[in-house]
Amino acid sequence: MIEAVTTSPLFGIVLCIGTFQIGRWVQKKTGLTLANPLVIAILLCIGVLLIFDIPYEDFAIGGDIVNMMLGPATAVLALNIYNQYAVLKSHFVPVLVGCTAGSLFSLASVLLLCHLFRLDEAVTAALLPKSCTTPIAVGIAESHGGIAAITMVAVLVTGFIGAVCAPLFAKLMHVTEPVAEGLAIGACSHALGTTKAAELGEVQGAMSGIAIGVCGLITVVAALFL
C-alpha cells in the first residue's frame, strides 16, 4: 500500500507543496530571514524521505513535474522587467555599467577562487553563476555541466549573506545613493537580497529587481566565453 502511494506522481507534488506551506507558515510566525520557506521545505522533504526510507526516485516522479514549472516561472519574470521599464530607462547608463561591472567581477572572482581551492569542473561550473537568481543560475550551471543542487546551495548562502548584511555593507563602503544600493543588493544577492532592499526603500527595491534581470542576462552571455 505504502509503495503504491509513494510511487504515485502525486506523492512528490503533495510533499513539495505541503512542506513549502509549512515553511511559509514558519516564516510568517517567526519573521526571520533565515527561516526561509524554500530551505525549510527542502529539509522537511529530505527528512521525510530518510525517516520513512523512501527512495529518491519515487519522490522524483512527482518532483520532476514540479521542477518543470521552473521554466515558465523564469520566463514570466519578463513581465516584472516590462513593468519596471520606465525606471530602467531613466537610469539606463548607471544600471548597465553597474550590472556589467558586478556580474563580470562576480564571475572572475569565483573562477579565481575555484582554481585556488582546486575545485573540479562540475563544482566550478555550479558555483560560477551563484550571484544570479536561482532559475537563471541553475540554467547556466546545467548548460555548462554543473551540478544544479550545488548551485542552489551556493545561491541560497549568497542570498542570505546579502539579505542579512546589506545595511552593514552600505555603511562600511560609504554607499549613499539609493539607486546604487538597490543595484548592488540585486547584483550580489538576487531575489533574497531584494526582499531586504524592498524594506530599505521603494527605489532600492525596484533597482534591486532590475539588477536581477540585467545581471542574469549579462552573466548568461559572459558565461558563454568561459
Partner 1 sequence: MGIMAQIGIVLAVCLVGEGIAALLPIPFPASVISMVLLFLLLAAKLLRPHHIKEKSNFLITNMACFFVPAGVGILRYADVLWANLLPLLAICFITTPLVYGVTAWAVQLTMRAIQKKEARHD
The footprint of partner 1 on residues 85-104 (CB under 8 A) is 85, 93-95, 97-102
Q: Which stretch binds partner 1 (CB under 8 A): 2-10, 140-148, 196-204?
A: 140-148
Q: Which of residues 4-33 bind partner 1 (CB under 8 A)?
A: 12, 16-17, 19-20
Shortest reach from residue 26's CB to partner 1, in Å: 13
Find all residues with CB under 8 Å of 188, minimum gap 6, and list them. Answer: 102, 106, 131, 158, 162
For partner 1, the closer of residues 26 and 148 by Cβ is 148
Shortest reach from residue 171's CB to partner 1, in Å: 12
Cα separation of 131 and 2, whole Å? 41
Contact string (CB under 8 A) for partner 1, positions 184-213, x = contact:
xx-xxx-x-------------------x-x
Cα separation of 83 and 213, whole Å? 12
Cα separation of 67 and 211, whole Å? 25
Residue with cell 567581477: 105
Shortest reach from residue 32's CB to partner 1, in Å: 15
Task: Measure the N-to-C terminal CA separation of the chain; round to a whole number of Å.
Answer: 50
Q: Which of residues 44-83 bind partner 1 (CB under 8 A)?
A: 45-46, 49, 56, 59-60, 63-64, 66-67, 69-83
Query: Is 214 within 8 Å of 99 (Cβ atoms)?
Result: yes
CA Rg value for the chain: 19
Shortest reach from residue 225's CB to partner 1, in Å: 10
Position among 6, 11, 58, 106 found at the interface with partner 1 (CB under 8 A): 106
Q: Which of residues 150-169 bind partner 1 (CB under 8 A)?
A: 150, 152-154, 157-158, 161-162, 165-166, 169
For partner 1, the closer of residues 92 and 202 by Cβ is 92
Could you tell me the three cell numbers for 164? 542579512
Shortest reach from residue 98's CB to partner 1, in Å: 4
Could you tell me the three cell numbers for 7? 510511487
- For Cα atoms 125, 206, 69, give the angle at the middle one, nearest 5 degrees: 50
Shortest reach from residue 31's CB to partner 1, in Å: 17
Size of the site for partner 1 (CB under 8 A): 103
Closest C-alpha among 140, 135, 116 to residue 127: 140
